[in-house]
């Protein structure tokens, strides 16, 4: 994953491709149309911010892209493969090997050390113990938590917890990082740090990032901003001058 | 991967140590009960075997009724007579001793001391048949046996209780309405099966017993000793033939008495123990089953409580099988832990019980292994349903769970 920087979506096969995706919750009168028909292509190495009012279907779209949910209608291709035809097991493997998740609420395992949390996806991948340890340590160092390996989530600040979550998401070297309001629970300073981290992963390692955010400040880091409204894509445009992350710093405490 | 799953299972169990313990309590109790039962049952069997073998291989016991045990007709079958005893002694070759042995439990009094003992009505052949010597004093005189005089020989336990360090020979003791002169003391024999004390007895002439205690002429059992070198089986069938004739049993009818050698006595006594052990073990097995249901219940609660955790695991790529294995292994580790603790407790109780009951400590390793394997089986059976429920959770629903 070295191809970075400015993207030209047109001449590469999209890593994610949604066509006419709808998602309806419930039936009949009570049915909620969370997505009403979405077309979205995301190329490898892109950093896409998804914005829009509450209830516009952002999380629903993320869940579908994350293979956690299936569309009511429409197709979803991941690197050309039709995810609609995947069974439960294949979707697990897709999540395990190609996708990394970062949630608003961190979603770390309680009473489990930072290191063990980061090791978890590697365990499921079947990586040997020694290799896994080394990888997880490297990931935690990468997010600036090299000296917090043994801490349990309850002993870490929100910003630190989100760093652990990011380390966990990138430990299995996914193709796409999915972040649903990663800074939603953090103060401005902490949010900036997390955004810098994510932006660096995108710029320096070519990691494809799709991030939902309510804050224009955070969206500024993305090269492309997609606006949702009432289950439809309202606007989809390039951010000509994305905010560049500061050069990498040492451990943050 | 698998060792990792086991490690995680242990972590989850230790995190909830108290609840884990309560969860497996049912299995602990079930396994401990089974192991205790079997250990004590085996100990009693060993004890019975060694006791009966002490009787000697040449002893036959003759009792009314076909066999003993639950289905015996012993109560209704006609008794024997003194003439039967004599006939056996005189007419069957190879018999060196034949004695009646009627028993009754009575309070024996000397001065201010009193003691509950088994009174046995016998003749001198009893001492030969049981290979028992008079340590102090003498046997009965023929005249005493014939006349049914009030004379008695004390077992060591009775002597110690009534006379302490004193010499009882020549003293007079009382057994309810009978005043009885002590003519001898038997050598000590020690405890018999189920801790029964063989020395807790008073021998009196059979005629004295019949006239003054029983009030009839019925002989309730006989001991017959076979001369060494003679076949016990031949003597046994000769006695059977003779008694059939004397009791006028026609050829089509079954015996209404039984002649048993020590092997048969052993199997009869151990048979009772085996039935008891089996019954109690069945009850214990049911409690094991209940223990398994307890595990299932708690595992279901645990799956509900950890729904969010399961959601996280599914989101980061755990497959259905991996989540299933995680909970299944946890259930199996739990119930194996219960099995292990139960085995240790059961062996402990078995040991204490064997000391208390004065029987050998006889742990049965096959049963121990089976109990261990069975608790693993219980873990798999009762852990599967909750584990499957965990594995089939919808990741989004699970993540949203509070
Ligand atoms: N499981 C569900 N069952 C029923 N309705 C749902 C469910 N999940 C989402 N919805 C509805 O679908 C619509 C879109 O929800 P979604 O979570 O995608 O919005 P969002 O854009 O992420 O909003 P927010 O910014 O508040 O997170 C909402 O109206 C929501 O109430
Ligand atoms: Mg949302």
pLDDT digits (tens, 9 = 90+) for B30-62: 899 889 988 998 888 888 888 777 776 788 999
Q: Is A54 in the pocket of ligand 1 (CB under 6 A)?
A: yes
- Angstrom distance (rounded) from CA A181 to CA A50: 9
- Give the end of a domain, one of B177, B199, B218: B218
pLDDT at B70: 46
pLDDT at A173: 94
Q: Are residues B203 and B113 in the same domain?
A: yes
Contact A224, A41 (CB under 8 A): no
A143: domain CATH number is: 3.40.50.300
User: Is A152 within a domain?
Assistant: yes
pLDDT at A5: 44
Number of domains in chain B: 2
User: Is A62 within a domain?
Assistant: yes
Q: Do B319 and A111 touch (CB under 8 A)?
A: no
Q: Do B320 and A66 touch (CB under 8 A)?
A: no
- Indicate the helix (H) or strand (E) that contains A229: strand A224-229
User: Is A131 within a domain?
Assistant: yes
User: Is A244 within a domain?
Assistant: no
| 168-187 in chain A: CB under 8 A from chain B | 168-169, 172
- Facing residue for A109 by CB, picked from B1, B309, B399: B309
Q: Which pLDDT tens digit goes with each residue over B17-33?
A: 888 898 899 889 989 98
pLDDT at B347: 95
- Output the six-digit token pair for A11: 């001449």
- Mean pLDDT across chain B: 88
pLDDT category of residue B192 using cuts at 50, 70 and 90: low
Q: Are residues B46 and B108 in the same domain?
A: no
Contact A180, A212 (CB under 8 A): yes
Q: Is A74 in the pocket of ligand 1 (CB under 6 A)?
A: no
Q: Which pLDDT tens digit goes with each residue over B218-247?
A: 999 999 999 988 888 899 999 999 999 999
CA-CA-CA-CA torsion sign (B210, B215, B216, B222): negative
pLDDT category of residue B358 using cuts at 50, 70 and 90: confident
Grouping H, G, I as helix, E, B as strand and the rest as coil, residue A19 is strand
User: Is B371 within a domain?
Assistant: yes
What ipTM score was computed for the predicted complex, to two decimals? 0.91
User: Is A122 within a domain?
Assistant: yes
Is pLDDT at B364 greater than 70 in this prediction?
A: yes
Q: Distance, CA A59 to ligand 2 centroid (Å)? A: 4
Who has greater pLDDT, A51 or A251? A51
With the most atoms of ligand 1 within 8 angstroms of its CB, the residue from A24, A30, A38, A56 to mutate is: A56
Cβ-based contacts of B15 with chain A (< 8 Å): 111
Domain membership of residue A190 as a residue range: 46-67+95-238
- Angstrom distance (rounded) from CA A70 to CA A84: 7
Q: How far apart are the first and last CA of chain A?
A: 29
User: Is A82 within a domain?
Assistant: no
DSSP A26: S
Pick the range with the lowest mean pLDDT from A134-138, B278-282, B339-343: B278-282
- Indicate the helix (H) or strand (E) that contains A39: strand A32-42
Q: Which pLDDT tens digit goes with each residue over B332-357?
A: 999 999 999 999 999 999 999 999 98
Q: Are residues B210 and B271 in the same domain?
A: no
Q: Which ligand is nearest to the CA of A23?
A: 1
Residue with tokens 């997609």: A226
Q: Are residues B201 and B298 in the same domain?
A: no
Who has greater pLDDT, A58 or B288? A58
A238 forms beta bridges with A224
Contacts of residue B77, Cβ cutoff 8 Å, sequence gap at least 6: B64, B65, B66, B256, B257
Q: Which pLDDT tens digit goes with each residue over B390-401?
A: 999 999 999 998
Residue whose CA is at the smallest distance from ligand 1 atom 30: A55
- Give the end of a domain, one of B180, B196, B218: B218
Contacts of residue A32, Cβ cutoff 8 Å, sequence gap at least 6: A24, A25, A26
Residue whose CA is at the smallest distance from ligand 1 atom 5: A25
Q: Distance, CA A180 to ligand 2 centroid (Å)? A: 7
Q: Do A66 and B315 touch (CB under 8 A)?
A: yes
Q: Which pLDDT tens digit goes with each residue over A209-238?
A: 999 999 999 999 999 999 999 999 999 999
A18 forms beta bridges with A40, A76
Share of chain A above pLDDT 70, in %: 93
pLDDT at A2: 38
Q: Which residues of B touch A (CB under 8 A)?
A: 1, 4, 15, 308-309, 311-322, 395-396, 399
pLDDT category of residue B82 using cuts at 50, 70 and 90: very high
**Which atom of ligand 1 is nearest the CA belonging to A26?**
4
pLDDT at B67: 60
pLDDT at A230: 96
Contact B382, B299 (CB under 8 A): yes
Q: Are residues B212 and B332 in the same domain?
A: no
To 10 degrees, the CA torsion angle through B1, B4, B6, B8?
A: -140
Domain membership of residue B14 as a residue range: 2-51+267-400
Q: Which pLDDT tens digit goes with each residue over A156-197?
A: 999 999 999 999 999 999 999 999 999 999 999 999 999 999
- CA–CA–CA angle B370, B372, B376 (5° rounding): 110
Whole-number Cα distances in Å, B18 to B12, B243, B295, B327: 12, 68, 14, 18
User: Is B354 within a domain?
Assistant: yes
User: Is A105 within a domain?
Assistant: yes
User: Is A34 within a domain?
Assistant: no
pLDDT category of residue B75 using cuts at 50, 70 and 90: low
Pick the range with the lowest mean pLDDT from A48-52, A56-60, B295-299: B295-299
What is the pTM assigned to this prediction?
Answer: 0.75
Is pLDDT at B119 greater than 60 in this prediction?
A: yes
Q: Are residues B37 and B127 in the same domain?
A: no
Number of domains in chain A: 1
Q: Is A58 in the pocket of ligand 1 (CB under 6 A)?
A: yes
Note whether A120 contacts B: Cβ–Cβ < 8 A.
yes
């Amino acid at each position: 994953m070295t191809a970075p920087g400015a993207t030209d979506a047109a001449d590469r096969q999209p890593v994610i491709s949604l066509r006419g995706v709808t998602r309806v919750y419930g039936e009949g009168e009570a049915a909620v149309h969370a997505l009403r028909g979405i077309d979205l292509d995301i190329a490898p190495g892109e950093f896409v911010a998804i914005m829009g009012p509450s209830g516009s279907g952002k999380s629903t779209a993320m869940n579908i892209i994350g293979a956690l949910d299936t569309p009511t209608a429409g197709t979803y291709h991941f690197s050309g493969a039709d995810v609609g035809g995947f069974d439960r097991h294949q979707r697990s493997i897709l999540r395990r090997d190609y996708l990394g998740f970062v949630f608003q609420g961190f979603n770390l395992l309680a009473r489990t050390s930072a290191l063990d949390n980061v090791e978890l996806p590697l365990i499921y991948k079947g990586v040997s113990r020694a290799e896994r340890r080394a990888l997880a340590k490297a990931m935690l160092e990468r997010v600036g938590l090299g000296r917090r390996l043994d801490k349990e989530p309850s002993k870490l600040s929100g910003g630190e917890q989100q760093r652990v979550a990011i380390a966990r998401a990138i430990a299995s070297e996914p193709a796409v990082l999915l972040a649903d309001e990663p800074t939603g629970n953090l103060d401005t300073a902490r949010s900036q740090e997390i955004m810098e981290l994510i932006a660096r992963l995108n710029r320096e390692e070519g990691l494809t990032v799709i991030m939902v955010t309510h804050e224009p400040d955070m969206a500024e880091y993305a090269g492309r901003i997609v606006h949702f409204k009432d289950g439809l894509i309202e606007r989809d445009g390039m951010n000509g001058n994305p905010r560049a992350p500061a050069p990498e710093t040492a451990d943050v405490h | 991967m698998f060792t990792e799953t086991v490690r995680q299972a242990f972590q989850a169990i230790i995190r909830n140590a108290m609840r884990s313990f309560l969860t497996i309590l049912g299995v602990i109790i079930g396994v401990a009960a089974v192991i205790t039962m079997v250990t004590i049952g085996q100990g009693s069997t060993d004890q019975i075997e060694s006791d009966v073998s002490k009787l000697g291989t040449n002893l036959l016991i003759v009792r009314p009724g076909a066999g003993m045990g639950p289905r015996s007709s012993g109560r209704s079958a006609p008794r024997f007579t003194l003439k039967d005893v004599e006939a056996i002694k005189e007419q069957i070759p190879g018999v060196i001793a034949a004695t009646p042995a009627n028993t009754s439990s009575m309070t024996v009094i000397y001065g201010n001391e009193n003691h509950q003992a088994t009174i046995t009505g016998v003749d001198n052949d009893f001492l030969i048949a049981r290979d028992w010597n008079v340590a102090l004093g003498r046997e009965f005189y023929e005249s005493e046996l014939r006349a049914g005089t009030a004379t008695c020989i004390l077992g060591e336990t009775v002597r110690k209780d009534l006379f302490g360090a004193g010499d009882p020979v020549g003293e007079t003791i009382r057994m309810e309405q009978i005043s009885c002169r002590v003519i001898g003391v038997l050598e000590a024999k020690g405890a018999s099966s189920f801790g029964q004390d063989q020395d807790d007895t008073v021998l009196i002439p059979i005629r004295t017993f019949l006239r003054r205690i029983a009030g009839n002429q019925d002989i309730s059992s006989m001991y017959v000793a076979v001369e060494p070198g003679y076949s016990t089986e031949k003597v046994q069938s000769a006695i059977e033939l003779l008694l059939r004739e004397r009791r006028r049993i026609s050829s089509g009818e079954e015996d209404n008495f039984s002649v048993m050698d020590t092997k048969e006595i052993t199997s009869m006594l151990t048979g009772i123990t085996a039935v008891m052990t089996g019954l109690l073990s069945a009850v214990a097995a049911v409690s094991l089953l209940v223990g398994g249901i307890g595990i299932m219940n708690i595992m279901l609660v645990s799956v509900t409580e950890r729904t969010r955790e399961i959601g996280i695991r599914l989101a980061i790529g755990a497959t259905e099988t991996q989540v299933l294995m995680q909970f299944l292994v946890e259930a199996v580790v739990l119930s194996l832990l219960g099995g292990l603790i139960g085995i240790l407790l059961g062996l402990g109780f078995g040991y204490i019980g064997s000391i208390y009951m004065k029987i050998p400590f006889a742990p049965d390793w096959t049963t121990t292994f089976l109990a261990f394997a069975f608790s693993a089986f219980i873990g798999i059976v009762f852990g599967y349903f909750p584990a499957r429920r965990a594995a089939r959770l919808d990741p989004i629903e699970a993540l949203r769970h509070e």
